[in-house]
Structure 1
Amino acid sequence: MGYLESARNLTGSAAALGGLALTFAGFAGAYWPVVVGGLYGAGALLAPPRRPPAPAFEEPSSRLDEVRADLVTLRAYLDRVDLPPGATERLAALTGLLEGLLAPGWVSEALADDPEGVHVVARAVRRDVPESVDTYLRTRWWTRLAPGGRAPEEELERQVVLLHGETQQLVDALREAEELRQRSHTKYLEDRGGSPWAEKERPPEP
């Protein structure tokens, strides 16, 4: 049944019908079966081969849906833990930056086209921030039993500053890519039709 509906059979059948038309017109003579069969075979061979459908993968931006959900979970976790004010403010700035990158729309679409950027964001949400906070909470408990050494609050704030700087670098890179795209389009328009701005800026001839 699959072959009957295939392009090869349909093309061959159309060619065979053309052979029958030639037979009825008197061109094939006694060899009409050979002509019809030959035209069918030629049509079947010339027909495009059957190809399997290409796999339909998800859109790149849809890969960020799970990271968005994980960010919501992370923010709920941060709201429950007891953190120093300085670290709380820095974490709020960091999570706000991550939320802006992951917000549905053209920003997250630009992020989705950058696999390394997606990795940076997912790593910050799923591993770096939770590990920094959890390590701080455990270290603070030990520090209460045995005071001394570097304050865990300072270590936590330093980690969050580093993570914020890494995320800010990603934001800057995405912005620079958009600026480059804009300048490239300007250059394309100038090359295509000249630059009216250059004409306006040209000093008048004496």
Structure 2
Amino acid sequence: MATNKFIGYLESRKNLTGSACGLVGLALTFTGLAGAYWPVVVVGLYGAGALIAPPERPSLPDFPDPSAQLDELRVDFAKLRDYLNGIELPPAAAGRLTELTDLLTALLDPGWVAAVLAQDPEGVHALSRAVRQDIPEAVDTFVRTRWWTRLTPGTEPPERHLERQLTLLHEEADHLATTLHETEARRQESHTRYLEDRGRS
């Protein structure tokens, strides 16, 4: 550990700047300008250089890039679909869930849509939250509440809440799809304007 610190200091900006200033002190010594106090001059210039050197900049954390995040999300989405295949839902809720998962599948499929999505961190976060939290929680809560409803008939059917939740999640995913489409449309329009401006010039 001490060796690593020593090597790190040798490579640091402080040591490099101090050494450069120390070499200036040696040059002054050889020209006779430092006089009898040349050791003090050399050490002083080294110290001054080490003090004025900019501080070391710590390395940025190595976070996965958006495309890697989407790869992980696809794996989790496959797990979610396996889980959902084992759940029996009322027809209306099952239909809403199918619409939602079909839309998520289209957004997560590798290709140009995913490439556009990878440039939208908020969109990736929204999909991640839907796949890893919102959909599993909505379905699991329905399954547990449905069991209690059998013991207390006459209460509000839990499938109504599930249908509403799935509808809201579909609206969010649809809004994301619309946003990505608008991004591509703006890109196309920008390219048209660029070509028009280039033609006029």
TM-score by length of 1: 0.65
1:50 to 56, 70, 86: 56
Classify the secondary structure of the residue corresponding to 1:91: helix
Pair 1:81–1:39, CA change in 2 (3 A): closer
1:175 aligns with 181
Q: CA RMSD in A?
A: 4.0
**189 and 50 in structure 1: CA distance in 2 versus 1, 3 angstrom threshold:** same
Q: 1:33 aligns with which of 36, 39, 43?
A: 39
Q: Which residue number in structure 2 is paired with residue 11 of structure 1?
A: 17
Give 1:122's match in structure 2, choosing from 114, 118, 128. 128
Shift of 1:3: 3.7
1:121–1:167 Cα contact (<8 Å) kept: yes
Q: CA deviation at 1:176?
A: 0.4
Q: Any idea what SS the aligned residue of 2:54 has?
A: coil
Give the number of equivalent residue pairs. Answer: 194
- Give the Cα–Cα distance (whole angstroms) in 2 for the partners of residues 90 and 130 of structure 1: 14
* Correspondence 1:71 to 2:77: yes
Q: CA deviation at 1:172?
A: 1.0
Of 51-60 and 154-163, the range deviating more from structure 2? 154-163
Q: 1:21 to 1:120 in 2, by over 3 A?
A: closer
Cα offset, 1:31, TM superposition: 4.3
Is contact 1:74-1:130 (8 Å) kept? yes
Q: Look up the match of 1:204.
A: none
User: Would you say the 8 A contact 1:16–1:40 is kept in 2?
Assistant: yes
Residue ranges of structure 2 left out of the alignment (5+ in a row): 1-5
Distance 2:37 2:144 in 1: 93
Asked if 1:23 is matched to 2:32, the reply is: no
1:98 offset after TM fit, Å? Answer: 0.5
Match of 1:102 in 2: 108
One-letter amino acid of the structure 1 residue matched with residue 77 of structure 2: L
Classify the secondary structure of the residue corresponding to 1:53. coil
Q: Percent identity?
A: 59
Using structure 2 for the length normalisation, give the TM-score. 0.66
1:127 deviation in Å?
4.7
Q: Contact 2:66–2:121 at 8 Å: present in 1 too?
A: no
For residues 29 and 175 of structure 1, do their structure 2 counterparts lie closer, same or farther at Cα, with a shift above 3 Å needed? Answer: same
Among 184, 190, 194, which residue is 2:190 paired with?
Answer: 184
